[in-house]
Amino acid sequence: MSRILGAFKKGKAFIAFLTAGDPDLKTTEKLVFKMERAGADIVELGIPFSDPIAEGPVIQEADLRALESGTTTGKIFDMVRRIRKKSQIPLVFLTYINPVFRYGYDSFFAKCKEVGVDGIIIPDLPFEEQAEVHEFSGKYGIDLVSLVAPTSEDRIKKIAAAAEGYLYVVSSLGVTGIRTEIKTDLKSIIDVAKEAAKVPVAVGFGINTPEQAAKISKIADGIIVGSAIVKIIAENGRDSAKPVGEYVRGMKKAIFTKKP
């Protein structure tokens, strides 16, 4: 069983996102361990990119801080290698197609396998164009995590049926960011997705309070939180381990857990 699927076997999963290199890679490495101890089941690592079209201001600014600190894809791979010496928490890259293309598909996914990356999310890669990437991600056993949005409509079943690792359900229209209210009819989307998916279904975009996590986790297999964590890092910089740990612990505690 893959590390990703294993993370969902204990119940509902809490998936935490942060931008690698914000404010620096040493802090990111420390935060991965801190979030794991606080209850995170999977960590998504954002590879900073100059034009992250799916991201709101919070993560856009984090990408810029990471790039300014000298973060590169190669240095992120080195960090993952160090993490793997101490932890087996599932690690999923979130990046855009340009950095992967420039690195070289075969070289990129070979490196993912070598250092211990489990999956990848590429928001600007349309489902219909995944084949050129999947040829290489599949070759090296890296899960290509698909996204479905409220606008996916008739494509939801098709995308869900081909999903690997977990299916990422986008809760709201627009870019990432903290939302006070999520109005999308998530249950209908999740019900359709679960009919076709062979992997767990997790929900992200906008979730930031324990109340939201508790409500959505009753119908989803996992909760994904990014902007709220990145905001704490922006406010606390290199001293963000404690507040991030407290936040993750509170969100994990709020998640509806399946009975054994």
Which tokens in the block code for residue 181? 């209210």
Find out whether 235 and 197 touch, Cβ atoms under 8 Å: no
Find out whether 159 and 197 touch, Cβ atoms under 8 Å: no
DSSP code per residue over 29-96:
HHHHHHHHHHT-SEEEEE---S--TT--HHHHHHHHHHHHTT--HHHHHHHHHHHHTT----EEEE--
State the amino acid at position 260 in one-letter form: P
User: What backbone torsions phi and psi does residue 2 show, to the nearest 5 degrees?
Assistant: -70, 160
Q: Where are the domains of the chain?
A: 3-254
Q: Which of 72, 76, 12, 70 is nearest to 44 (CA)?
A: 76
- With vertex at residue 95, the alpha carbon angle to CA 93 and CA 98, rounded to the nearest 5 degrees, is 135
- With vertex at residue 202, the alpha carbon angle to CA 19 and CA 149, rounded to the nearest 5 degrees, is 85
SS3 (DSSP) at 143: strand
Report the Cα–Cα distance between both ends of the chain, in Å, rounded: 19
- Please give the sequence-ordered ranges of beta strands (E in DSSP) within the chain, or none if there are none: 13-19, 42-46, 91-94, 119-121, 143-145, 147-148, 167-170, 201-204, 222-225
Rounded Cα gap, residues 185 and 173, in angstroms: 12
Domain 3-254: give its CATH architecture.
Answer: Alpha-Beta Barrel (3.20)
Which tokens in the block code for residue 163? 């999903």
Residues in the chain where the model's pLDDT stays below 50:
173-183, 259-260
The pairing of strands 13-19 and 167-170 is unpaired
In this structure, the dihedral spanned by the alpha carbons of residues 27, 108, 17 and 253, taken in order and rounded to 10 degrees, is: -100
Q: Which of 1, 73, 4, 86 is nearest to 43 (CA)?
A: 4
pLDDT for the residue 186: 87
pLDDT tens sequence across 127-179: 999 999 999 999 999 999 999 988 777 899 999 999 999 999 998 644 444 43
Find out whether 167 and 212 touch, Cβ atoms under 8 Å: no
pLDDT for the residue 184: 61
pLDDT for the residue 1: 79
Which tokens in the block code for residue 171? 């809760």
